[in-house]
Structure 1
């Protein structure tokens, strides 16, 4: 009887992909903390997961000379601008303390999901061995 990895692993792989994309997004916010007029972006994780099985945005090139980019696991419609608590004079909306806290929380969630996924693989391994 074949094993359906989609059923066995559940939504954990999708969660990992979204956490990785969110890490890149938050890292971009932090990297641009001193860039004038940069607008901090984030996602509504629950909304993205609800739409995860729908249409996902992928980068398209119009010329063979364009560099290929990694496909985004986050639909463009789910990218939101962060509302600043205290906007800066140069128009930048990045609050480094908030971004660092969000990044740390996202990293913890990523690691937790990775542990759950590892546990699923251990369970499959035991089932295959018949133990």
Structure 2
């Protein structure tokens, strides 16, 4: 029996994603003047694709069952940005875009934290008996 369904776990993963995105954006901003630095991004699609491409080892009880194999995956979700313009020094960081991404990520983070706070407040109310 799972007491909290998967909502809190899902919100935790959303906070992990937001934290990873914040770190990557901060690295990009810190390296805005570094020659030949390639801007990075965190992609939910890349994380999802990694999970979907992973195979798992399973016991087969019937010859008609599919074979599953475990494969190691690369660092999840962190990718080099594609289709970007490079500065004269080979750097691909666009400071205005990074600042906009940071603001968007902050709004996302705030929304997720508000939702998880609401979940905990609901649990607290249930524990207190509605008082």
Q: Is TM (by shorter chain) over 0.5?
A: yes
Structure 1 stretches of 5 or more lacking a match?
Answer: 56-74
Instruction: Indicate the residue corresponding to 2:22 in structure 1.
Output: 23
1:26-67 deviation digits (Å, cap 9, x = unpaired): 000001000000000002124425757x98xxxxxxxxxxxx
Structure-2 change in CA distance of 1:43 and 1:8 (3 Å): closer
Give matches, 1:92-131, under 5 Å: 92-131=91-130
TM-score, normalising length: structure 2: 0.72
Structure 2 unaligned blocks of 5 or more: 55-73
Answer with 1 or 2: which has the greater Rg: 2
SS in 1 for 2:15: helix
**What SS does the aligned partner of 1:11 have?**
helix
| Cα separation, partners in 2 of 1:32 and 1:6, compared to 1, 3 Å | farther
Instruction: Give secondary structure in 1 for the equivalent of 2:6.
Output: helix
Is the CA contact 2:47–2:76 (under 8 Å) kept in the aligned structure 1?
no
How many residue pairs get matched?
111
For residue 38 of structure 1, what is the aligned residue in structure 2? 37
Q: 1:4: Cα distance to partner?
A: 2.9
**Could you tell me how far 1:10 is from its partner in structure 2?**
4.2
Q: Helix, strand or coil: the match of 1:80?
A: strand
Change (3 A) 1:92 1:109: same
